[in-house]
Amino acid sequence: MDMTTVSCRDFVSALASPAPTPGGGGAAALLGAIGTALGNMVGALTVGKKKYAAVEEELRALTARCDALQAALLRQVEADEKGFLPLAEAYRLPKDDPTRESTLEEASVAACKVPLRIMALCCEALDAVAALAEIGSRLALSDAGCGAAALKAALQAASLNVLINTKGLKDRSRADALNEVCLSMLEAGGAQADRIFTQVKNGLTT
């Protein structure tokens, strides 16, 4: 089932159930889409306003970019579920199966692909939200801040889904390479989100 087509209540219930999916990866993807949409809302509330006519073209480009990022992030909800299935099957192999270790190794590496993609999309979305916070309507400023906060949470959640899979890898050089990509995006994206949030908070309190 495509969990992006069910109600919010059903999605939350599925997360709280003992079913392995949706889990942290799917939740991170959805949260990333929500954060992107909140930033996109700033553009939607600004486009067409005479006061912002000078940045109309840039606003339209940013909203189109956010539309594409929202769609891509929503696709990762199902992709994360599909990416987890081979790992779940690998864990079910008998411990005396001679292929178990290599199968687990490859499945663990493969399971990092979607959360890393979620992180990359969140970083792209944060760039767009940062621009929208700069040029968008001051009346919608809080939405940009909310979007940045949600995207940071999505980024953090996705990173943990990478790190839990690399932790058990026997090939530590492979694990280190994946961790480096993950932690680099976490640091850069987290700093970007913090800058946006602080900018918005200061704009609302001064």
Give the tens place of pLDDT for each residue, 6-42. 999 999 999 999 988 899 999 999 999 999 999 999 9
Annotate 104-147 with DSSP letters as a single string: HHHHHHHHTHHHHHHHHHHHHHHHHHHHHHHHS-GGGHHHHHHH
For the chain, report the end-to-end CA distance as a whole number of angstroms.
47
Whether the pLDDT of residue 1 is over 70: the answer is: no
pLDDT per position as a tens digit, 163-189: 999 999 999 999 999 999 999 999 999
Greatest alpha-carbon span in the chain: 71
Residue 58 burial (10 A CB sphere; 0-12, 13-18, 19+): middle
pLDDT per position as a tens digit, 72-126: 999 999 999 998 889 999 999 999 999 999 999 999 999 999 999 999 999 999 9
Instruction: List Cβ neighbours of 185 (8 Å cut-off, separation of 6 or more).
Output: 116, 119, 120, 123, 155, 159
Domain 21-205 = CATH 1.25.40.10: no
Q: Rounded CA gap, 74 and 33, in Å?
A: 6
User: 187, 71, 59: which is closest to 123 by C-alpha?
Assistant: 187
- Cβ atoms within 10 Å of 46's Cβ, excluding its own: 22
Evaluate whether 136 touches 113 at the Cβ level (below 8 Å). Answer: no
Q: Rounded CA gap, 145 and 148, in Å?
A: 5
Domain extents in the chain:
21-205
Q: Rounded CA gap, 152 and 149, in Å?
A: 5
